[in-house]
Copies of this chain bind each other. A is one copy, B any other.
Amino acid sequence: MATETSRSKIRLSPLDVPKASDVLANELREKILSGEFPEGTPLPPERELVVQTRMSRTTVREALRVLEVQNLVRIKAGRAGGAFVQRPGQDSVADSLELLIRGRRIRPASVHETREAIEPSCARLAALNRTTGDLQRLEAADAAIGSSGTLEAFLQADVDWHVGVATASHNEILTGIMIALSRAVHTVTHTTGLVNDEVRAITLRAHRSVARAIKDKDQDAAGRRMGRHLHASADAAPAPGDQPDR
């Protein structure tokens, strides 16, 4: 069994043979991320890239498609169209987190757990870094909660408020994560949701209380109140033994 077929001691680590389209994609990605291509720059048209790279149009297109999926370029058709450089935003993080949550069947409870882990910190940072513009946005979202509205409108306003707090933290990473979590919560609650007037009133009061702390730059109070708010709404939503996956 132990047949050593090699007569030479020369050893090579397994070579990777990258696909041509990946090579191009990587090349372009580097130039984008390094800032060599600032935002909005149009990449050369596909047929132009073909002659420059000596690759086929198929390959060039695949590379561009990859970058598009990664939200590094936006591709428009038609005259004056083409691939335009874009900096990746919080949305792309949100997309991939959404895939993770859906694909892995992550329990809503886990999502909530994550929010409880993160949002108080968001609130603390918001209290530290908020601008007056941030405060206005929070108030606007709250206004939409109290008044009127369908279930859909309520959920949207609630999400807006929480994302607003994250934005006020002026930390783009946390903001991206919160956008993702909010989306997930939104869709889940949409189906599970029982939302009556009492819930609205309670939510509104909690939000206002947190917002006041943020306005007063009181980090501790902001974090503490946000924690309580989340904990309370966790109790309100039924903790389902529905899909006890992991």
Which of A32, A65, A70, A95 has the most CB atoms of chain B within a 10 A radius of its CB?
Answer: A65
Stretch in A106-114, A144-152, A196-204 touching the partner: A106-114
The interface residues of chain B lying within 8 Å CB-to-CB of A32 are 103
Select A100's contact among B58, B66, B124, B176, beta carbons within 8 Å: B176
4 closest A-B pairs (Cβ-Cβ)?
A117-B121, A96-B96, A69-B69, A88-B99
Interface residues of A (CB under 8 A from B): 21, 32-33, 35, 58, 61-62, 65-66, 69-72, 87-90, 92-93, 95-97, 99-106, 110-111, 113-114, 116-118, 121-122, 124-125, 171-174, 176-177, 181
In the complex where A72-B99, A96-B93 touch, is A88 in contact with B114 (Cβ < 8 A)?
no
In contact, B103 and A99 (Cβ under 8 angstroms):
no
With contacts A65-B65, A69-B69, A121-B117 taken as known, whether A99 is within 8 angstroms of B104 at the C-beta atoms is no
A97 near B93 with CB under 8 A, answer: yes
From the candidates B92, B104, B125, name the one contacting A96 in the complex (CB within 8 A).
B92
By the criterion CB–CB under 8 Å, are A92 and B99 in contact?
yes
Residues of B within 8 A of A97 (CB): 93, 173, 176
For residue A116, give the distance in angstroms from its CB to the closest CB of chain B. 8
The smallest C-beta distance from A135 to any residue of chain B, in angstroms, reads 20
Q: Using Cβ atoms and an 8 Å threshold, which residues of chain B touch A122? A: 117
For A101, what are the chain B residues with a Cβ–Cβ distance below 8 Å? 173
Expressed in whole angstroms, the Cα–Cα distance for A173 and B97 within the complex equals 8
Of B93, B99, B100, B176, the residue contacting A172 (CB under 8 A) is B100
For the complex formed, measure the closest distance between the CB of A84 and the CB atoms of chain B, giving whole angstroms.
14
Q: Are B172 and A110 in contact (CB under 8 A)?
A: yes
Pair B69/A70 contact, Cβ less than 8 Å: yes
A65: B residues at CB distance < 8 A: 21, 62, 65-66
Residue of B nearest to A29 (CB): B99
Cβ 8 A contact of A33, one of B102, B113, B121, B125: B102
Q: How far is the CA of A111 from the CA of B111 in the complex (A)?
A: 22
Cβ contacts A to B, 19 pairs, < 8 Å: A33-B102, A62-B62, A69-B70, A71-B99, A72-B99, A72-B103, A89-B104, A100-B173, A101-B173, A104-B172, A110-B171, A113-B125, A114-B173, A117-B124, A117-B171, A118-B118, A121-B121, A173-B181, A177-B177
